[in-house]
Amino acid sequence: MLFVGANRHAAPAFPPGAKGNKLLDGAAINYLHNPKLEIVSSQQSPQGKPIIVTQSSRGQSGRRPGTISKCLSGIAGLDEVTGGGLPRGRASLICGSAGSGKTQLAMEFIARGARDLNEPGVFMSFEESEDELKSNVRSLGFDLDDLIERKLVALDFVAVERSEIEETGEYDLEGLFVRLQHAIDSVGAKRVALDTIESLFSGLTNTSILRAELRRLFRWLKAKGVTAIITGERGDGTLTRQGIEEYVSDCVITLDHRITDQLSTRRLRIVKYRGSTHGTNEYPFLITDSGISVLPITSLSLNHAVSDERVSSGVSRLDTMLGGQGYYRGTTILLTGTAGTGKTSLAATFVDAACRRGERCLYMAFEESQDQIIRNMWSIGIDLQPHVKKGLLKFHASRPTFYGLEMHLLVTHMLVEEHHPVIVVVDPVTNLVNAGSTMDVHAMAMRLVDYLKGRGITALMTTLTGGGRNLEQSEVNISSLIDTWLLVRDIEADGERNRGLYILKSRGMAHSNQIREFRLTDRGIDLLDVYLGPEGVLTGSARLSQEAKTQAAETERQENAQRRLLEIEAERKSLAAQVSALEAKISLQDKELHALASRQAAQLQRRETDATAMARSRQADDGLTPRPKPVREKTKGAR
């Protein structure tokens, strides 16, 4: 029998009478054909035949009929695309070319299971020594020495040198099984990783034996009830070099590190997953100082929750144009315009207003550095530095060509998970065209919008529109994804270029349909009413000239009105004087009439008095007092 590496001289699990993998006991045959059985011990019968004692494998009870038990990997995003993790108690194959991240994924599966999920694991390497593995994983935040000391992880390096292997007789993996069984028992492992399987068969030329032993290895792992990851190198036209591992594995995941237009992207795809639904697309993943992060990039449905809450844009007159209250929270805003129209200033004003409310913001900058943006905003009276120091504002500035679109999207996901912002600014999204085609940028933006809406985050994106284009069309064709679309544009007149702003659309609210002149001042952003002249909208000096003319006309009107008021007042005073004179004359005439009447009455009285006095003096009848009528006396006897 031939044993592997340092174990090639170990005692075989079966006596020499059992040739290779030819098992002579009925229980052993049952073990090979029933993956639900687990070897508990191997003994010898009185006749020298191997006796294999089996029991039902672990993890088969307590499950709902028709479903399989799954083992959480602990790797960000991988459990989402696999629908809950890797198949528990089964073997999964991780295949890919050199440098694609196979060893990293396998080691993180073991380390995270031991550290975070209380599932001890065994990592058996055929290429890297224990010290190399510890050093490589330490840079990702995992202390393997501590996990090994706590009996949560067992590392085993099996050196397989082709020069030390002599192919004699039949080849089997009994030595590997003994060594692996010892490692599993030493920590009570529930997880196993073998890296990489090609090294195990590097010196074997008999493909029939190789395939038989591969099947036996996968059956042995399944029978042990451990959740296993086996890494394999990509073959020529096949997922693995041998072309058999993918068929005997219950789950197959391929890793790819591709270069497109000089930009590198790592991607993951689940080729198959027996007994479970799973994501079928290619998913970008990133290896960072905290491990592997897999990004589920495909939106499944449009079921985002919405809010009636409104948030200020930071510009009071713009809030007025937006129904008086600003944007809806959790929506996506697009600022479109040519270069130099103030898109970044509007974005910074929005962020400044949010930070003043105590809200956390993330600013993704693809043109300027953090310090440059902060310095430039000082010129319009906005100081973003205090928000950065308080931790309310986080900048992430990078060149679009630093990595591919998927990586930009994945980085955004990671920053959102780390910083927990309520507002995200992407300035400008059109620069990502340098990292992919317009169609790819559109797909990336759609996934980003869906992701942010799903988390209730208000997003503001700026896009640069080239000169000569239809301004009411975004460069990356994402306007249909946008809830509120603002357009800032240059207005050229009288040898000047001035800025104008108007709202193209704002879903769910009444909004202004008028253009406002957009000015950057040392006190922030001002929106001014525009003037309409014979040639259209007047801005800049034309507006100032029109304002001067309007002011002069208003002054003249006011002066004319004041002069007329004075004239009317003088006329009123003149008329009042005339009225007073007439009233005085009337009063005088009234007095004269009264005096005349008094004199006439006095004269009449005097005449009567004089006449009476004269009559008395003459003892004459004055003709005034009537004489009494004489009365005749009646005689007696008269009738």
Q: Which residues are catalytic?
A: 127, 367
DSSP state of 627: P
Question: Are residues 373 and 365 in contact, defined by beta-carbon separation less than 8 angstroms?
Answer: yes
- Tokens matching residue 346: 């509007």
516-552 residues labelled b (16+ CB within 10 A) or e (exposed): bbbbbeeebbebeebbeeeeebbbbebbeebeeeeee
**Cα 244 from Cα 586, distance rounded (Å):** 132
- Using CA atoms, how far apart are residues 89 and 100, in angstroms rounded to an integer? 25
Supply 419's token pair: 């910083």
Which residues fall within 8 angstroms of residue 99, CB to CB, at 6 or more apart?
A: 257
Closest CA to 137 of 129, 467, 46: 129
Structural tokens at position 14: 């079966």
Q: Counting Cβ atoms within 10 Å, is residue 575 exposed (0-12), middle (13-18) or buried (19+)? A: exposed
Q: Give the containing element (helix H, strand E) for 460.
A: strand 458-464
Query: Which element (helix H / strand E) includes 376?
Result: helix 370-378
Q: Which residues of 598-634 are buried (b: 16+ CB within 10 A; e: fewer)?
A: eeeeeeeeeeeeeeeeeeeeeeeeeeeeeeeeeeeee
Cβ–Cβ < 8 Å for 323, 511 = yes
Burial label, 92 (beta-carbon count in 10 A; 0-12, 13-18, 19+)? buried
